[in-house]
């Protein structure tokens, strides 16, 4: 009489292989960019307004340290210089490549990516917007102190030159968040 060997090890390997394939197929094709890198190159689809970008991937990016006048809130009127700030950002980023650099907080309460945005020529978009006078340096949120100093210096330069918000002494009106 011949003894039959049970193929338990072969069956176990096959079951594990099937489970791994199913898990691989069920996993998202690629994790969000901010989960992988401290910085990454992306393509901008368009500027939503002066301080928010829409990426080709569909993700929204909110610029750290910047708060331009509102243009898109349905319950809020377009604020002075809002359209100009939006146009300024659009002209700088177009629909081209930018490099995102992340800080400690990767997303805001609206699930937008929070980032420093570098233009292809190496300029920091966040700083350029402030330096042009389209935003105050927003320093009450936690982010890198070297960037806070950079943004405060850019705001001082814009104030001294009377640019944007400081052309007539106006500031951004308080906006409920």
Q: Could you confirm whether 112 is annotated as catalytic?
A: yes
Of 39, 107, 112, 155, which is the active-site residue? 112
The 8-class DSSP code of residue 98 comes to E
Tell me if residue 62 is catalytic: yes
Question: Catalytic one among 34, 70, 127, 155?
Answer: 70
Would you call 70 a catalytic residue per the annotation? yes
CA of 69: how far to CAs of 54, 131, 136, 157, in Å? 18, 15, 10, 19
DSSP string, 114-171: EEEEE-TTS-BHHHHHHHTTSSEE--SS---HHHHHHHHHHHHHHHHHT-GGGSSS--
3-state helix, strand, coil in the chain (%, to 5): 35, 20, 45
**Residue in 34, 62, 131, 147 annotated catalytic:** 62
Residues tagged active-site: 62, 70, 112
């Amino acid at each position: 009489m011949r003894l039959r060997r049970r193929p338990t090890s072969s069956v176990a390997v096959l079951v594990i292989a099937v489970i791994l394939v199913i898990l691989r197929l069920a996993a998202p094709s690629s994790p969000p960019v901010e989960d992988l890198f401290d910085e990454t190159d992306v393509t901008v689809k368009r500027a939503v307004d002066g301080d928010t970008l829409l990426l080709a991937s569909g993700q929204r990016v909110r610029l750290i340290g910047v708060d331009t006048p509102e243009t898109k809130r349905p319950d809020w009127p377009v604020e002075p210089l809002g359209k100009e700030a939006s146009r300024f950002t659009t002209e700088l980023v177009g629909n081209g490549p930018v490099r995102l650099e992340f800080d400690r907080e990767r997303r805001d309460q609206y699930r937008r990516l929070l980032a420093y945005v570098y233009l292809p020529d190496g300029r920091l978009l966040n700083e350029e917007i402030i330096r042009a006078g389209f935003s105050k340096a927003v320093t009450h949120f936690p982010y890198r102190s070297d960037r806070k100093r950079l943004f405060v210096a850019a705001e001082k330069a814009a104030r001294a030159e009377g640019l944007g918000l400081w052309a007539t002494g106006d500031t951004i009106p308080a906006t409920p968040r």
